[in-house]
Amino acid sequence: MILDIKNREQVESAQFVLTVDFFSNKSIQQLAEKAKSALHRDIEVGATRDAWKPLQENGARLTNLYNNGFKMKRMTIGPVYYYEGVNALLKSFKFIEDNGYTNELCKVKIDLGFSKMNEGARIPQLNKFKFLLNFNEAKAFELWPQEIRSSKIYKHSINLIYPKNKFIAEAAVPSGSYSSQMEFSFPRSKQFGINFDRISEGFVTIKYIGGKDYEKRNTQAVELLNLVIESLFSTLKSNSIYSDRDREKIKEILTEQKSHLTALKSYATFETKFPLIKLSMDLDSRPEILGAKFNLVREKLFDLVTYGGLVRGRVNYNSETNQVEVLEGRIKNGFNLSNIIFMESSIQAELSDCTLVNCKVRSSRLLECTIFDKNDIRYSTLSNCNFNQSGVNTIQQSTIKGQPNMQVSADLTECLVVGSPLSYHATKDSKTEIAL
């Protein structure tokens, strides 16, 4: 399982932070004592709000979590170098097996980087586009297949590369230069197995590992870690050059996507491809109007069907607000969706700057959204969201992060609220924690 000694440079420079989520009926204090004995290191018991704070080198922390249930725990270890880190990973898995359990909501996160002493492998300079082209994501999903991972853990990322001018002209395949990656874009999402949010800090985040009984899959977890290390290291060593293989890979991806892009070239092709999505412009569904104004809604439709998986529902473009409104839609494993009004819809997604009315929301991340009325939200994280103070919403087993001027107006069950006060109309149960 350990990287071969011939790859000593990779091994000696690789370091990571390990985060494991699990459930346990034991108290946090009991678990801390057990973890100290099992991992042979001091364990800091943190408040729930500390679960996302960085650790000092070789640190370890155990906290309660609320976003997936009152008994959920999080243990974080690191930063540690490769050999010590692999040892900590195996011991933490055994600790979970002895003291708790995991289900489809649990995940493992590894923030991976290389020592600053290794000038040839600097993560902040990573060519992300080239890395995605070369990373063997199929192997990652073979090691951690869909039936083991939860539906929220995690989507394929590589096949979502699109030319930036996808509706205007055919994309050019990159030449040998680094700058040519700018002709293409790929969406960023926490639902991908590889996440680049911490790249400026020198880390790439691995999120493929998780699901029910993940702690029993030691070999697969280490093999997946090794796979990412080798791919990162290899990319960084040839960071600025596109090989013939890279260009062939791009051609293959674009060929596969051509039919999808063609379907969104006009209203006629869209209607043929997506007959169950009923489109209107200012509630006017006459074909001649839809055909003439289709360009106004095409980009959002692309996001909804490509990144949101929308196949049925009603979509209206409101010219007064310049917004797309979705009624009775179903978004599953969605991401990269913003500035959309969702009404009476079922949602599992990452949303930003969206408005929700009478929606069923599960296992989602909501950033700067407006929570209007009659929403049922569970197992989710809400960051800097505005609540309609006269609305009635229910939120269960979720984390809400906000600012002092952003009152939370909802009926809360087993939630964590950080930074925001509750409104006069809000209610909470005894298991909800408020951390101002």
State the pLDDT at residue 179: 46
Q: Is residue 386 part of a domain?
A: no
> At residue 371, what are phi and psi to the nearest 5 degrees?
-95, 100
Domain assignment of residue 132, given as a range: 5-247
Q: Is residue 291 part of a domain?
A: no
CA distance 284 to 294: 12
Q: Is residue 290 part of a domain?
A: no
Q: Is residue 399 part of a domain?
A: no
State the pLDDT at residue 317: 97
Give the tokens for residue 148: 């083991």
Q: Is residue 13 part of a domain?
A: yes
- Supply the pTM of this predicted model: 0.78
Q: How far is CA 312 from CA 105, 263, 277, 372, in A?
A: 27, 15, 5, 23
Sort strands 340-343 and 323-327 into parallel, antiparallel or unpaired.
Answer: parallel
SS3 of 231, please?
helix
Name residue 45's beta-bridge partners: 62
**Exposure of 68 in the CB half-sphere (CA atoms within 13 A):** 19
**Exposure of 337 in the CB half-sphere (CA atoms within 13 A):** 34
State the pLDDT at residue 435: 78
Q: Is residue 62 part of a domain?
A: yes
Q: Is residue 287 part of a domain?
A: no
- Is residue 288 a contact partner of residue 268, using CB atoms and an 8 Å limit? no
State the pLDDT at residue 144: 87
Q: Is residue 117 part of a domain?
A: yes
- pLDDT by position in tens, the chain (length 436): 566 645 676 777 889 999 999 999 999 999 999 999 999 999 999 876 666 677 777 789 998 876 555 578 999 998 999 999 999 999 999 999 999 999 888 889 999 998 765 555 688 989 888 888 889 988 998 998 866 555 444 556 666 777 776 665 444 555 554 444 456 777 777 778 888 889 999 999 999 999 899 999 999 999 999 999 999 988 988 887 888 888 888 777 777 667 777 888 899 999 999 999 999 999 999 999 999 999 999 999 989 998 899 999 999 999 999 999 999 999 988 888 999 999 999 999 999 999 999 999 998 999 999 999 999 999 899 999 999 988 889 999 898 999 999 999 999 998 889 889 999 889 999 988 887 6
Sort strands 108-114 and 204-206 into parallel, antiparallel or unpaired.
Answer: antiparallel
The total domain count for the chain is 1
